[in-house]
Amino acid sequence: MSSIHDDTCPSFEGTLELIGRRWTGSVLQGADRGARRFGEYRVMIHGISDRLLSQRLKELEAAGLIERTVIPTTPVQVRYQLSPDGQALVDALLPLAQWSMHRSGPRGSGRVPSST
C-alpha cells in the first residue's frame, strides 16, 4: 500500500483548505450565478460582512480563481468574474453540492453509512 503523501496531496489539501473557509463557497457560487460587482455579492450572500467579502475576493483572486477588473470611470468600477480555473473548480464542486442536497433531503438521514 502506498502513502497518501505523494506529490498531489499538498496541492489537494491546499485546495480543500481554501474552499473550506467560511463563505468561500458562497462567493464562488455568487460569481457562477452572475455577481460581478461588490454590491451584487452582498445582495446574493446574506450575512457576509463587507470586510470578509473583500478578504475572500482577494484570496480567490490571489489563487487565480477570480479575475478582478478595474474600470477607470468616475467613480472607479471594480468587477469580478470567475477565471477559467475558477469555473472549472465550480464545475468540479457541482457533484458535491448535489450530493449535499440529496443528503439533506427528506429521505436523507444526514449520516454517512458505516463501512462495516
What pLDDT is recorded for position 27? Answer: 97
- Residue at 64 is within a domain: yes
Structural contact between residues 41 and 28, judged by C-beta atoms closer than 8 angstroms: no
Q: Give the mean pLDDT of the chain.
A: 88
Percent of the chain with pLDDT over 90: 70
What pLDDT is recorded for position 114? Answer: 42
Give the integer Cα–Cα distance in Å for 93 and 99: 10
- Residue at 110 is within a domain: no
All cell numbers assigned to 107? 429521505
Per-residue pLDDT tens digits for 56-113: 999 999 999 999 999 999 999 999 999 999 999 999 999 998 998 888 876 555 554 4
- Residue at 111 is within a domain: no
- Residue at 109 is within a domain: no
Query: How many structural domains does the chain have?
Result: 1
Structural contact between residues 47 and 32, judged by C-beta atoms closer than 8 angstroms: no
- Residue at 116 is within a domain: no
Give the integer Cα–Cα distance in Å for 29 and 47: 15
CATH number at 61 reads 1.10.10.10
Q: For cell 469555473, name the residue.
A: 87
